[in-house]
Structures are given as structure tokens and as C-alpha cells.
Amino acid sequence: MKSIQQRLLTSLLIGLPLLWVLTSGFIAWRLWHEIKEMNDTQITQVARYLIGVAPKEDDNKNDYEKDDSKSKKKRPAKIYNLNSKYLSGDLGNAKDDYMGFAIWNKDGRLLMADENGQSFAFLPDQHGFLEESDSAYQRLNPFSKRWRLFYVHDDHDSKHKGRVIAVGQNLDSRQEMIVSAMTVQVLPMLIGLLAFIGLVIWLIRRGFMPLTQISAELAQRQPQDDSPITADVPKEIQPLVTALNVLFVKVAETLAREQRFTADASHELRSPLAALKLQADLLQQQLLQLSDIEDDNQLFYHAQKISNGIERATHLVDQLLILAKIEPQQQLPPEQLEKPDWLILTDIVLSDVNRLGREKHIQLKRSVICDNPADILPILINPILFKLLIRNLLDNAIRYCPDGSLIELQLDTNAISVVDNGLGVEPEQLARLSERFYRPAGQSQLGSGLGLSIVNRIAELHGLTLIFANRLPPDIGFITSVILKK
């Protein structure tokens, strides 16, 4: 599920640039259009002036070059450029190649032109702007220099009937003009857009900060914590926070009640067991006093059975209470965590269960799989719970292995495993092993079926996963491991 923050950011970050592109596109299109219109107007304007001021073919002789006086008919055209003596003063940023013009008489003789105009073709049939589709346009616009040309015929003055005037504008210059105009427009808009996007991201992040803060607070929260959320939240979220605060108190109360119940239950369950155990102990002691009676074996056997029964009930009560205590915990309180010395810790546990093993002639072994004992499972643990975990695993292995088996506690960098050479577990039972009160049918061993549930819970609290597997052939036996979650 996407967060509101992500959704907002995604749509804004796609939407804003899209909108920007559309706006800029429209502006560019309008600009292009306006500039074209302006330039075309300018061209026709220039043509209009030229009609008025263009030289008559035969007068103003002075204006023509006079070096060849033999034949008037072969007089060359008068050519202008910006640097010619006819223009003086500050030319500003004027460029010579921006526009051009040419004037021909009706026979096509060039009367007058500027530098650019000399290359214009004489097109006696052309009126108005030369369109791109015209063949002349193709001819007049070879690769680099492209011109927009306007042809006009001077038909009004009878004396100079048929003069052709062509005015052209360099399209490169026109494009340059449009591009620079658009750059001037678009660049600040682009910078504005980037700044705006930055602002939007910052504002959204800031707006969602209280929510992020609440999430962080909730993630760290212990179930028994009933203190209200301290984050400074906006008005819209306040009802949610208020509801949460009420819920916290309720949950904490429920937990406290449950823990009280557990404490009461432990008292109520243990007291009668303690009384029974004392009586059974006394009974056994008194039976020992009667050791001279020949057939007391039977009596002692019964007393022993009572003791075993009490032990079994005690074990069940212990397991139930442990489970009740660790089940509601989300995480272990940091003050209970410490870095373990695995060798010392496992020594203690192995010693604890050793007697049970001895009774079945089971040999216990410990092997460190990794090279350096300092590398064994580098996590912080609650030593009491973790001892219980290993103890339960070993206990199970001892209970369910036949006499004379070998049980190995393996310590590795990412796992602690108990490997036996017993009979293994039927594959269909593997998945159910850690269920509460589940015991494979036909067990002769004492047990409550809670041991592995406890192991599972403790493993989870330490960020470990509990897995079961039969050993691969040719080995037989069973492996239980708690493995570091990847």
C-alpha cells in the first residue's frame, strides 16, 4: 500500500512538469506565430518603401557606376551594404545578413540590390511570399542560407511598369530571434519550476512529519506502555491520536490484569503442588526408614510414581507460566539484554540436563563450528530466556532419543543447533511441532507439548527463526536450529 505522502509526491512531481511543458509549449507556439507575423509585416513594409524609393531605370545617373561609359545598357547594378558610405553613425547591433533586397527591371536586369539581395533569383511570375512548396523556394534555399522571400511587381507607375522587387529575410536570423526570445521566457520558468518542486517536496515532508513521528513512536512502543503520544500533531489527526491514547491505556490495563492473573495463577497452582511434593518427600523418607521390610519395593515404587506425577504437573505449570509471560512481549527490554559468553552459558545448560542424559546413557557433546569462538551468534540475548531455549531443545532431544544416543550442541556464526542421531520425526509432523500442546501420538515420555512453543517464542524475541529437519541420509536423526533471520 502506498503512503499518502508518496502518492501526493508522485502525482505532483508528474503533474507539475507536465503542466509546465504544456504552458511553455503554448507560449512558444504563440511566440513563434507572433514573431512570424511581425517579421512578415516588416518584409512587406520594406517592399513598400522600396517601391517608393527605388531608382528609375534611366535617371539618377550619378548613382550608377560610371567607369564603363560606352554602353549604358550594360551598366552594372548598384550594390549596398551596411558599411557603405550611405550609412553613417552608430549602427547599434545591426547585422548585415539579416535582410536583403533586390530590384530588377521587367527584363530581369538587376537595377539595385544589397549584398544579400544579389543572390536572389529573378522570378517574373512570383507574387507575394514564396511558399515552401514552390520549386523556386527549393532552388533559392540551398543548405545553409535559407531565406523567406517576398516578391512584388511595381505596376502602378506607368513609367517603370514591370519592375520586380524582392525582399527577403534570413530564416536563420529569424530562428535565432525566436530561440533567444523563448530562452528568455523559458529559462526563468524552468528555474522556477525546479524551485517549486523543491518547495513542494519540502512542504509535504514537513506536513507529514507529525505522522512519521507518530509511526516511529508506535513502532518502538511496548504493549504495557500507556503513556500518551507526545508528538505535536495537526488538528486533523488529533482525534486519531486521542483514540490511540485511549487504546493504549486499555491495552496496558488488559496486560496488567493478565499479568496479575498469571502471578495469582502461579501462586494458586504452585502452592498445592508444593504441599503435595513435601508430602511425597516425607513419604519416601519414611519408607526408607522401613528398609528392613522385605516387600517395601512396591510401596516405594508408588511413592516414586506420585513424585513423578507432581514433577510432571510442576513442569507443565512452569511452562504455561513462562509462555504466559513471554507471549505478550513484542521485544525484549534492552536493559535485560547482554552479550553472552556462549561457552559458559552452554556449559551451564549442558550441566543442567546432563543428569537426564545420564539416566538414558545419552552422551552430550558440544562443538564450535566456526573457527573462532568469539564469532558464535553475535547477538544480544536475555541469558535466562536463552538458557531456557537451549535447555528445552536439549531436553526434547534427550526425551525423544533412544538410550545410548549421541546429542550434539553445535554453535555456529549464525545458528545454534541441536543434532541427534535418534529416530527423527515423521515428515508430516514436522510442521506441527511448535504448536502448543502438540505432541506426536504414542509418546511414553513426560512432557507438556509446550516446550517448542516456548522455544519458538524466545527465538522470535531474539530475532531468530526456529527450524526443524531430519538429517539427510546416510545420517539418521533430527536437527533443531535457531537461525539468525536474514
Partner 1 sequence: MARILLIEDDSSIAEGIILGLKSHGMMVDWFSDAKQGEMALQEDMFDAVLLDLTLPKGDGMTVLQNWRAKHIDTPVLIITARDAIANRVAGLNAGADDYLVKPFALDEVIARLQALMRRSQGRSQPEIRYGEVAYQPNTQQVTYQGQVVELTIKEVAILEQMLTHPKQIHSRASLEDKLYGWQQDIESNAIEVHIHHLRKKLGNDFILTKRGIGYYLNPAHSRL
Q: Which is nearer to partner 1, 195 or 348 (CB)?
A: 348
- Does residue 271 bind partner 1 (CB under 8 A)? yes
User: Which residue in the set 275, 343, 446, 476 belongs to the binding site for partner 1 (CB under 8 A)?
Assistant: 275
Q: 115 to 144, contacts with partner 1 by CB under 8 A?
A: none
Count of residues touching partner 1 (by CB under 8 A)? 45
Question: Smallest distance from the beta carbon of 272 to partner 1, in angstroms?
Answer: 8
Per CB under 8 A, does 279 bind partner 1? Answer: yes
- Between 362 and 466, CB nearer to partner 1: 362
Task: Note whether 81 binds partner 1 by CB under 8 A.
Answer: no
* Whether the bond into 474 is cis, omega within 30 of 0: yes
**In the complex, minimum distance from the CB of residue 242 to partner 1, in angstroms, rounded to a whole number:** 32
270 binds partner 1 (CB under 8 A): yes
Give the separation between CA 394 and CA 385, rounded to whole angstroms: 14
Q: How far is the CB of 477 from partner 1 (least distance, A)?
A: 19
- How much of the chain is helix, strand and coil, in % rounded to 5? 55, 15, 35
Output the smallest distance, CB 209 to partner 1, in A: 38
Taking CB under 8 A as the rule, does residue 281 contact partner 1?
Answer: yes
CB of 237 to partner 1, least distance (A): 37
The span from the CA of 288 to the CA of 118, in Å, is 139
Q: Where are the beta strands (DSSP E) in 275-432?
A: 363-368, 406-411, 415-420
Neighbours of 457 (CB within 10 A): 20
d(CA 377, CA 464): 10
Which of 100, 340, 357, 477 touches partner 1 (CB under 8 A)?
357
Report the run of H or E that residue 245 belongs to, with start and end: helix 238-289
Please list, in sequence order, all residues whose beta carbon lies within 8 angstroms of the beta carbon of residue 110, skipping any fewer than 6 positions away. 77, 102, 103, 104, 118, 122
Residues in 366-405 at the binding interface with partner 1, rule: CB under 8 A:
384
**DSSP one-letter code for 119:** G
**Interhelix angle for 238-289 vs 296-326, to 10°?**
170
The answer to whether residue 158 forms part of the interface with partner 1 (CB under 8 A) is: no
Going from the C-alpha of 301 to that of each of 249, 284, 297, 341, the distances in angstroms are: 54, 10, 6, 42
Query: CA 221 to CA 244: how far, in whole Å?
Result: 12
If binding is defined by CB under 8 A, does position 276 make contact with partner 1?
A: yes
Query: Are the beta carbons of 103 and 51 closer than 8 angstroms?
Result: no
- By CB under 8 A, residue 91 contacts partner 1: no
Tell me which stretch binds partner 1 (CB under 8 A): 36-44, 289-297, 427-435, 449-457: 289-297
Stretch that binds partner 1, among 163-171, 196-204, 361-369, 423-431 (CB under 8 A): 361-369
Q: Cell for 48?
A: 513598400
User: Could you say whether residue 269 binds partner 1 (CB under 8 A)?
Assistant: yes
Place of cell 554602353: 71
Q: Is residue 273 involved in binding partner 1 (CB under 8 A)? A: yes
Output 138 or 351, the one with its CB closest to partner 1: 351
Nearer to partner 1 by Cβ, of 211 and 273: the residue is 273
Site for partner 1 in 313-332 (CB under 8 A): 314, 318, 321, 325
Q: Could you tell me the three cell numbers for 257? A: 490484569
Quote the CA–CA distance of 128 and 176 in Å, as a whole number.
Answer: 24
Residues 223-252 that bind partner 1 (CB under 8 A): none
Considering the rule CB under 8 A, would residue 364 count as an interface residue with partner 1? yes
The smaller minimum CB distance to partner 1, of residues 153 and 270, is found at: 270
308 binds partner 1 per the rule CB under 8 A: no
With b for 16 or more beta-carbon neighbours within 10 A and e for fewer, the 153-171 pattern comes to: bbeeeeebeebbbbbbbbe
The answer to the question of residue 361 lying near partner 1 (CB under 8 A) is yes
Site residues (vs partner 1, CB under 8 A): 263, 266-279, 281-282, 284-285, 288-289, 291-292, 297, 300, 304, 310, 314, 318, 321, 325, 347, 350-351, 353-359, 361, 363-364, 384
